[in-house]
Amino acid sequence: MTTVTQNFSLLSDRINSLSESQTISMAKKARELGAKGIKVINLSFGEPDFQTPQFIKDAAKKAIDDGYSFYTPVSGYPELRSVIAEKLQRENNLNWKAENIVVSTGAKQSLANALLCLINPGDEVIIFSPYWVSYSEMVKLAEGVPVLVHGSLENDFKPSAKQLEDAITSKTKMVMYSSPCNPTGAIFSKAELESFAKVLEGHENIFVMADEMYEYIRFEDDFYSMGSIESMRERTITVNGYSKGFAMTGWRVGYMAAAKWIADACDKIQGQVTSGTCSIAQRAAMVAYTNLEPTKEMSKAFLRRRELIVGMLREIPGLKVPSPQGAFYVFPDVSFYFGKSYGDYKINTADDLAMYILNEAHVSTVTGEAFGADNCLRISFAASDENLTLACDNIKKVLARLV
């Protein structure tokens, strides 16, 4: 039998052009230290540290007993899509019907579906930066060109309408952003979204991908969807899901809402890749929006943790620590420590600092380089108060060694 030796040149250009997810990579390194008996406080994870609410678990158990063990429609059960459409109308002023909803195996698939359906080779996709690590790689997978528009720390990392306007070219096909943002926790206000819409009104062939996955984890009352602006209704793909707001990361249920012709295209591509997502998870998701109390309690816990971690990090000399408006990440500027050293450690980048903190403080974070912000670290506060306190203490001690 002939065997093929390991040769990355035999892999497709498509896969060789992609970068490994830095969040997954850091979690892997943390596990490697754990395997050596070293206790690592993991603040690199992007998932709530809460259990899925019991009433959702009960719905899943009932679905199993009721025999929901067969293939589902590619876009999801019609009943679930109707529930989602009603939620979007009720809470987001998005007037879609079930036919406009496509349920996928996580919001990540929803994002990929839409990109693969709308982006041709060479099309430019403007990404508000800092951004979730997979955006740029998904654009590359669709053979598009990521164009990063950077927000300043002084404006909570949010780009301006002028920056958006300046980035648009004849090749621009889409704008992507998340609100609340992963990794910064920033939320775009109604006025900011309207200013973006004003710019885009003159470019009728540019679409918007609005990732609202962290909608329910926010620390302010107001929340607005780009798709609720009349001029942007038909051109906005709204992506959301159950992972963050209902602590259902492993259930893998996300969805997108868009004009029917876009939804139909996403149904078409999903039918050739995965078909419908897990039947049991879908039946469980159907009841989630009937009771938001556990979600509200979880959000209150994250607010308390935000106050704790922001306060402690601001006590560390040199760190610039904005206070996130939502999600469960803090995104400090750590450039004060660039050029410093301790023993064999030379800190020239955020990646260097993340590895130094992992090895010396035994706290895992994620380099901001992965999110388009070279001067920052992403630190998750989806952890207990005790672990957050210990982690910040450890980080403060090891940073004090750098000279």
* Domain final residue pick, 288, 318, 335: 288
Query: Around Cβ 291, how many Cβ atoms within 10 Å?
Result: 13
If asked whether residues 184 and 74 sit together in one domain, one would say yes
Domain that residue 45 falls in: 12-51+294-400
* Domain final residue pick, 288, 307, 333: 288
- Would strands 124-129 and 345-347 be described as parallel, antiparallel, or unpaired? unpaired
Flag whether 1 is in a domain.
no
Token reading at 169: 């070219």
Residue 220 has pLDDT above 90, yes or no: no
If asked whether residues 328 and 349 sit together in one domain, one would say yes
Residue 22 has pLDDT above 90, yes or no: no
The string of pLDDT tens digits covering residues 299-333 is 999 999 999 999 999 999 999 999 999 999 999 99
Angle at Cα 97 formed by Cα 94 and Cα 100, nearest 5°? 90
Flag whether 3 is in a domain.
no
- Read off the CATH number of the domain in which 331 is found: 3.90.1150.10
The string of pLDDT tens digits covering residues 334-385 is 999 999 999 999 999 999 999 999 999 999 999 999 899 999 999 999 999 9
Mean pLDDT of the chain: 95
Q: Mark out the alpha helices in 68-172 (DSSP H runs).
A: 78-92, 107-118, 134-141, 161-167
If asked whether residues 37 and 58 sit together in one domain, one would say no
Angle at Cα 233 formed by Cα 230 and Cα 234, nearest 5°? 130
